[in-house]
Amino acid sequence: MTGDSLTRRSFLAGGVCACCACGPLTRAIGATSVASTGTLGPEGLPTVLELGTDPMQRIGQSVWVSRLAPGLWLHTTTAVIADDQHRYFPANGLILESDRGSVLIDTGYLQEHAEVLLTWSKRALRHPITQAVATHFHRDRTGGIPALEAIGIPTVAHPLTLELARSHGTPVPTAAADFVQDIARVSAQCELFFPGAGHTRDNIVAWLPRQRVLFGGCFLKSMTSADLGYLADAVVADWAGSVRRLSARYSTPTITIPGHGSVSGNPIGHTLALL
| CATH number of 179's domain | 3.60.15.10
- Confidence (pLDDT) at 7: 25
- Confidence (pLDDT) at 18: 40
Q: How far apart are CA 90 and CA 109, in angstroms?
A: 9
pTM for this model (two decimals): 0.86
- Confidence (pLDDT) at 42: 56
- Confidence (pLDDT) at 12: 29
3-state SS, residue 77: strand
CA geometry: angle at 227 spanning 221 and 228, to 5°? Answer: 60
Q: How far apart are CA 229 and CA 39, in angstroms?
A: 21
Cβ–Cβ under 8 Å, residues 143 and 225: no
Domain containing 73 equals 3-274
Count of domains forming the chain:
1
DSSP string, 166-209: HHHTSPPPSEE---BTTEEEEETTEEEE---SSSSTT--EEEET
Other CB atoms within 10 Å distance of the CB of residue 267? 26
- Confidence (pLDDT) at 52: 97
Question: What are the CA-CA distances from residue 128 to residues 100, 108, 255, 265 (Å)?
Answer: 9, 17, 24, 30
Rg (CA), the chain: 16
- Confidence (pLDDT) at 13: 31
3-state SS, residue 234: coil
- Confidence (pLDDT) at 124: 95
Q: How far apart are CA 96 and CA 118, in angstroms?
A: 13
- Confidence (pLDDT) at 85: 63
List average pLDDT for each run of 10 residues in the chain, which is 275 residues long. Answer: 27 36 29 36 81 95 96 96 76 94 97 98 95 98 98 98 98 98 96 98 98 98 96 98 98 97 98 98
- Confidence (pLDDT) at 87: 83
DSSP string, 9-74: GG--TTS---------HHHHTSPPPGGGSSS-GGGT--SSS--SSSS-EEEETTEEEEEEETTEEE
Q: How far apart are CA 202 and CA 138, in angstroms?
A: 10
- Confidence (pLDDT) at 65: 98
Q: How far apart are CA 44 and CA 90, in angstroms?
A: 9
